[in-house]
Chain A
Amino acid sequence: MFPFSIGHLAEGIILDYTIKIGGSAGQGLHTIGDALARVFARSGYHVFSHQDYESRIRGGHNFYQIRFSDKPAMSSRERMDMIIALDKETVLCHATELAEGGQVVYDSETIKETLAGPQFFDIPFARLATNHGGSRLMANTAATGAVLGMIGMETNVLFTVIRDNFTKKGDEVIQANINAAAAGHEFAKNKCARCHFTASPPANPKMLIGGVEALAIGAIASGLKFYTAYPMTPATGIMNYISVHAAEFGIIVEQAEDEIAAINMALGAAFGGVRAMTGTSGGGFALMVEGLSLAAMTETPVVIALGQRPGPATGFPTRTEQGELQFALYAAHGEFPRVILAPGTPEQAFYAASKAFHLAEKYQIPVIILFDQYFGDCQWTYDGFDFGKTVYHDYRLRGDTFAGFKNYKRHAFTQTGVSPLGVPGDARHVVVTDSDEHDEEGHIVEDAETRKKMVDKRLFKKMPLIRREIAPPLLYGSEKPEIVLAGWGSSYGLIKEAVDALSRDYEIAMLHFSEIYPLPPAEQTAYLKILGEARMAICIENNATGQFARLMRAEAGYVFTHSINRFDGRPFMLEELIGEINGFLGRV
């Protein structure tokens, strides 16, 4: 029996713990967090982690929060079962989050203070590391071992993680770290009077993957050949992942001199004949806006990953918000079609990348994948991704097919509004496009008639076809709900768990939109009926003004009865959201 009382939300869940590792930047809390998350995933648990950090390289206060459970975990909790405090600040900031029976683990020799109370567990990480591993540098490894000791898990999986992490540093370093981990484990197991834990039987290892990584892999799986960006949190992780794997997958990655260059490079590459993508955050996207319009006018396919963070201006560079939906919707001059996808999980991001490239190329339009810092940095566990569910079709005219094409005109009028996209140099045809209004061949025109036909082609012909490609929102929970919790993007897991927690008492459901714009077509508007028939429809958004609610009002004429908004730069916590919903329901 594990004494940590964590206020389980639903019955039947045996294990659902949250661990917070806190410290200042540079202390290596990532080393502990990454290793623990990996150990839990490899041991077959469901893991959900998220990170909270400041815009600095050293100092400040950061934390890494890991939830692990034997049931799917997909949101962050408010109460901590264990806090690993690498500094005093962590204790001061987070001790009140401790669940009943929870433990704060710290090293009195490092923080130079002994903390009184049964909730504090003093482990000499640095001394254990020095004595058993040979260096103080391994204090974090000792701490990782100690955590496993406290919760009654064995060290064998951790040892495999250590071996993987230190392969390049050689056997000596691996062994030293194993010794440090074992020492921490042994110490905690023997000295933690309050830790009695029955570990659940080991299950098959799970895949542990973060939002931006899934997005990046999805892009690679979709035939990405050119990625360019200017570094900006929270989108930089996409470039990091792709550049590491660029040679392996035949991708060119170029860091642009600014975001204006990035979007224009992406368009140059796409015009040249390959799938291209860029990624940024709101400030960088602001610089890309003219290029977005250029993509529309030249009908050049491009995928833009837009990672939201709180604005305006520099805002909170490393924090989260869903504040750029309206910006993504209306950015750029002129009227043209665009698609906005907002995956809610790494798995959805993987498939969203594939769909983004597919739609961008099929309709020769810009597609925006909207995510946020919380989503980008959080990790989920899966049994795997199904590559078979990705879509790949090369719509470009290449080689002999292009050469055999009669009377080629880059912007020819067609039934669908989609013109043949030839690869320059692959045939004797020339490929001409222009940011000016142009004729079918791509040359500048000034006449009203061509203008009207071009707008008809680019916008009115394509838009209904594009709309038909958009999937309806996901309904989860009651099929005839009296309460609907609606959301988009990163709130997926949070809302889903809230529905699980409340479904015992209410006919409640989630409507989650991961394909936001255009809204699904009229024949797929069952969701509007569901919303209309609900007694209470709450739109949950990580922004101040309810941007998605505004979109629904503008495009579908639907007004939510309630809204819950958080805009302090932090993600919703599950208990907090349930508390707010209960408030609406008149429950304490």
Chain B
Amino acid sequence: MASLEEYDGQTPSWCPGCGNFSILKTFKEALVELSIEPHQFTIVSGIGQSGKFPHYMKCNTFNGLHGRTLPVATALKLVNSGQVVIAVAGDGDCYGEGGNHLIHAMRRNINVKLFVHDNQVYGLTKGQASPTTLEGTHPKNLPFGVLSETFNPMALAVAMDCSFAARTFSGDLQHLKETIKAAILHKGFSLVDILQPCVSYNKVNTYEWYSQRVYHIGPDYNPENRIGAFQQALEWGDQIPMGIIYRHHRRTFEEGVPLISEKPLVRQEQSADMAKLDEAIREFY
């Protein structure tokens, strides 16, 4: 088993007090506990403060474009299915810029783990509204405040029959770690919405704000009941449920591709079979 130090990366440039620090630390611990070594997983990240996440640890990394983590992660998982493929995005990144890809990743049920660092604000660009910024608040650049309804990732996930959808909070380390581990161990697409404060630009949804509202879903809750899950997903405000909101074990995308059932594509012969090509070309005569 690798030690925690083996996952060390660059020194983070996040603001002191940023929720990302605890996510980073907890994430590394989860990997150690799951015995997933640095070369065995890839983080595909986007742009935003969350996009820098993989640089601050040691792992295979594709830090791509804003909003486009999921297409990269999807194809990577398909061709290199031996890798644990993790997508890390922010609320603006994944719910705004890349919303279409989120919908289709849920549909495909590709075995990619998506962690959304949801601080309900744009941090890197300094304080504009994100899709999860609360309706009625007054962030930068919106003269009439947020007029659009707050985006609800959990409700979308249930509606899309997302294989695994959970919410956790960067301030609840134990819950955070257990949720990360459950998502990684789940077979299928997993969405984890991680609530986190942005100490610089979100003066509404602070550490205290979250701490006063979040609660653990009880042991009696059945995440596999879709109707109940939808009701649970709608709860937001004074009480914010945390835990696995919805789970549906269904066929993964890779399981539908016989070509990779035994061996990752990347481990198979890469050059074309010229004898077969000769055969194929005969249909043109």
Contact = CB atoms under 8 A, between A and B. Distances in A.
A226 B63 contact: no
Nearest to B67: A260
A222 B272 contact: yes
A106 B40 CA distance: 67
A360 B259 CA distance: 25
Contacts of B60: 424-425, 430-432
Given A223-B270, A268-B76, A274-B79, A260 B71 contact: yes
Contacts of B52: 444
B121 interface: no
Interface residues of B, number: 58
Contacts of B258: 247
Contacts of B280: 217, 220, 245, 248
Contacts of A206: 285
B65 A435 contact: yes
Contact of A268 (B40, B63, B71, B284): B71
A42 B39 CA distance: 55
Interface string A257-293: 1101110111111011111100000000000001100
A256 interface: yes
Contacts of B78: 226, 252, 254, 269, 272
Given A387-B277, A433-B62, A425 B39 contact: yes
Interface stretch (B26-34, B156-164, B244-252, B261-269): B261-269
Contacts of A426: 266
Interface in B1-58: 9-10, 37-40, 42, 44, 47, 52, 54-55, 58
A406 to B, nearest CB: 16
B74 interface: yes
B247 to A, nearest CB: 24
B231 to A, nearest CB: 29
A245 B270 CA distance: 16
B239 to A, nearest CB: 35
A250 interface: yes
Given A249-B273, A274-B266, A268 B59 contact: no
A482 B115 CA distance: 67
A429 interface: yes
Contacts of B104: 257, 261
A224 B52 CA distance: 32
A425 B267 CA distance: 10
Contact of B61 (A213, A258, A392, A434): A434
B281 A217 contact: yes
Contacts of A207: 281, 284-285
Interface string B91-107: 00000000011011000
A268 B44 contact: yes
B171 interface: no
A42 B268 CA distance: 37
B64 interface: yes
B75 A276 contact: yes
B127 interface: no
Interface centre among A251, A257, A266, A268 (most CB of B within 10 A): A268
A119 B25 CA distance: 85
A272 B266 contact: yes
A220 B277 contact: yes
* Interface of A, helix, strand, loop or mixed by DSSP: mixed
Contacts of B182: none
B68 A291 contact: yes
Nearest to A247: B259
Contact of A257 (B83, B100, B259, B273): B100
Interface string A374-386: 0000000000110
A480 B44 CA distance: 57
B62 A257 contact: no
B52 to A, nearest CB: 7
Contacts of B285: 41-42, 205-208
B284 A213 contact: yes
B252 to A, nearest CB: 14
Contact of B72 (A221, A249, A268, A443): A268
A394 interface: yes
A290 B68 CA distance: 10
Contacts of A298: 62, 64
Contact of A228 (B68, B73, B75, B101): B75
Given A206-B285, A252-B79, A433-B62, A265 B71 contact: yes
A392 B59 CA distance: 30
Contact of B80 (A217, A246, A273, A433): A273
B251 to A, nearest CB: 16
A225 B59 CA distance: 25
A28 interface: no
A294 interface: yes
Most A CB within 10 A of own CB, among B52, B62, B74, B270: B62
Given A269-B75, A275-B270, A264 B281 contact: no
A431 B60 CA distance: 5
15 contacts: A207-B281, A225-B270, A265-B72, A268-B73, A271-B72, A272-B78, A272-B80, A274-B266, A274-B270, A290-B65, A294-B65, A424-B60, A425-B83, A430-B60, A444-B63
Given A207-B285, A269-B75, A429-B39, 12 more contacts: A208-B284, A250-B259, A252-B265, A257-B103, A261-B104, A264-B64, A269-B76, A424-B83, A426-B266, A431-B42, A433-B62, A444-B52
Interface of A: 41-42, 205-209, 213, 217, 220-226, 228, 245-252, 254, 256-258, 260-262, 264-269, 271-276, 290-291, 294, 298, 384-385, 387, 392, 394, 423-436, 442-444
